[in-house]
Amino acid sequence: MTTEVLKQHLIDPEICIRCNTCEDTCPVDAITHDSRNYVVDADICNHCMACISPCPTGSIDNWRTVLRVAAYPTADQLTWDELPKEIPLADLPVDAVALLDNNGGGELQTNAADVSLGSVVAPASASQPTVNLHGIKNFISATVSGNFRVTQLGTESDTHHIVLDFGSANFPVLEGQSLGIIPPGVDAQGRAHHARQYSIANPRDGERPGYNNVSLTVKRVTTDYDGKPVRGVASNYVCDLKKGDVVQVIGPFGSTFLMPNSAPSHILMICTGTGSAPMRAMTERRRRLRLAGRDNAGKLMLFFGARSQQELPYFGPLMNLPKDFIDINFAFSRAVNQPKRYVQDVMRERTDEVAKLLKDDNTHIYVCGLKGMEAGVLDALRDTAVTNGLDWLALHQIFRREGRLHLETY
């Protein structure tokens, strides 16, 4: 009788930033999590690899050779602070090693049934990103050089624009990437808090051009997803930071949600709340190129949703952008004496313009913000395509395959 060996798929708890992307992506629900760790169930995972490339940190891409009967149970994985060491082949039974030599153990397939609705590849003309330069064990320290509220005082949504300076340390970023902040202190189990992920809100040459700094757009979490009062660990820590404070940063992360460099490239941006951070980065990149006489000539179109104008981050600066530079469309769901409007409603009102963009091979679409917006936005894109005689099923696949439809919701 041969002993079955398995290349067990595991998630590195030291690097994972608990972004839920893998759980959303897995077609067979092999990934679960608790308040601490993301884990893979060896009895369910079929090694389809669909989760590998969307993971922003690479923590998903870990494998250990084990006897199937001795695979690490999810209950154990949930308690880990680090991955177990690889068991030397010499310590596995001889017949198991023979089997491994013959067929590589758990067959890794690369023709994954890819269920992700967005692209898992970057636009063809995107710049090469740097990822995972700093992890938990070699985090980088950054000094807070600014913290400004970007939603009106007195509104429920307390969102801050935070500027972090890296001094002379190396932290290269591209528009669309993110970083992780490690909040100080420990959780209820006495373990160090895990890092939380925040989108970078500035272009590649810095929040201030030529400065080695980045900006973030962070909303203070005061209620959980069910509306129960809660004090979000990292968001409250970040929103309360003072100038001169030093924070621990990991990253940068993200190798797919990146902007195209080819000209002309049209960018259709759809966001809510802090989902505006990567849109601000891309818009500012294009604005600086334009000022430098290197206009891309591609169209910029933005659909931006918030509860009210007062709760929309960066409302003032956005209003100052020239109309011939960017086509801005706001959607307010709780504006006084006005009907509720969500981004997908406003997209439908601009169906002719959106359809023109859908028909153009140079169009790249970015969606970022609240998890709940994704379905509505995709429905609006589908309806726009269909009413304009386009085959949405085919078009959606083309956009995904060519790295031209990016979804980042949380």
Q: Identify the residue among 6, 10, 42, 60 touching ligand SF4 (CB under 6 A).
A: 60
Question: How far apart are CB 291 and ligand FAD at their closest, in Å?
Answer: 25
Fill in the DSSP letter of residue 85: P
Q: Give whichever of 105 and 251 is closer to ligand FAD, judged by the CB atom.
A: 251
Separation of alpha carbons 199 and 237, rounded Å: 16
Q: Give whichever of 10 and 377 is closer to ligand SF4, judged by the CB atom.
A: 10
CA 214 centroid distance within chain: 17
User: ∠ at Cα 285 (280, 288), nearest 5°?
Assistant: 120
Number of residues in contact with ligand FAD, rule: CB under 6 A?
Answer: 22
Report whether 358 contacts 384 (CB < 8 A). yes
Q: Does 25 bind ligand FAD (CB under 6 A)?
A: no
What six digits make up the tokens of 246?
A: 């030093």
Report whether 303 contacts 351 (CB < 8 A). no
Q: Identify the residue among 6, 10, 19, 378 touching ligand SF4 (CB under 6 A).
A: 19
Q: Give whichever of 32 and 388 is closer to ligand FAD, judged by the CB atom.
A: 32
Nearest to 254 by CA among 334, 211, 198, 182: 198
Q: How far is CA 260 from CA 113, 123, 124, 301, 390, in A?
A: 26, 6, 7, 15, 24
Q: Does 331 bind ligand FAD (CB under 6 A)?
A: no
Separation of alpha carbons 410 and 408, rounded Å: 7
Q: Give whichever of 229 and 389 is closer to ligand FAD, judged by the CB atom.
A: 229
Q: Identify the residue among 8, 53, 57, 329 touching ligand SF4 (CB under 6 A).
A: 57
Question: How far apart are CB 21 and ligand SF4 at their closest, in Å?
Answer: 4
Q: Give whichever of 311 and 374 is closer to ligand SF4, judged by the CB atom.
A: 374
Question: How far apart are CB 250 and ligand FAD at their closest, in Å?
Answer: 12
Separation of alpha carbons 258 and 261, rounded Å: 9
Cβ-based neighbours of 97, under 8 Å, separated by 6 or more: 5, 89
Please, what is the angle between helix 373-387 and helix 392-401, to 10°?
120
Question: How far apart are CB 40 and ligand SF4 at their closest, in Å?
Answer: 5
Q: Give whichever of 59 and 255 is closer to ligand SF4, judged by the CB atom.
A: 59
- The residue whose Cβ lies closest to ligand FAD is 232
| 3-class secondary-structure state, position 101 | helix
CA 211 centroid distance within chain: 24
Which string of x and - marks every residue 271-310 that binds ligand FAD (by CB under 6 A)? ---x--x---------------------------------
- Tell me the residue type at 258: L
Q: Does 26 bind ligand SF4 (CB under 6 A)?
A: yes
Q: Does 343 bind ligand SF4 (CB under 6 A)?
A: no
Helix and strand numbers (H, E) in the chain are 10, 15
Per CB under 6 A, which region of 42-50, 76-84, 138-146, 222-230 contacts ligand SF4? Answer: 42-50
- Partner interacting with residue 196 (select from ligand SF4, ligand FAD, none; CB below 5-8 Å by kind): ligand FAD
Nearest to 259 by CA among 132, 366, 155: 366
Q: Give whichever of 161 and 266 is closer to ligand FAD, judged by the CB atom.
A: 161
Phi, then psi, of 370 in degrees rounded to 5? -65, 140
Q: Binders of ligand FAD among 175-234, rule CB under 6 A?
A: 178, 196-199, 217-219, 221, 224-225, 230, 232-234
Q: Does 163 bind ligand FAD (CB under 6 A)?
A: no
- Tell me the residue type at 102: N
Q: Give whichever of 250 and 312 is closer to ligand SF4, judged by the CB atom.
A: 250
Q: Does 129 bind ligand FAD (CB under 6 A)?
A: no
Separation of alpha carbons 397 and 403, rounded Å: 10
Q: Give whichever of 71 and 126 is closer to ligand FAD, judged by the CB atom.
A: 126
Please, what is the angle between helix 351-359 and helix 373-387, to 10°?
80
Q: Which residues bind ligand SF4 (CB under 6 A)?
A: 9, 11, 16-22, 25-26, 28, 30-31, 38, 40, 45-51, 55-57, 59-60
Q: Which residues bind ligand FAD (CB under 6 A)?
A: 19, 178, 196-199, 217-219, 221, 224-225, 230, 232-236, 274, 277, 408, 410
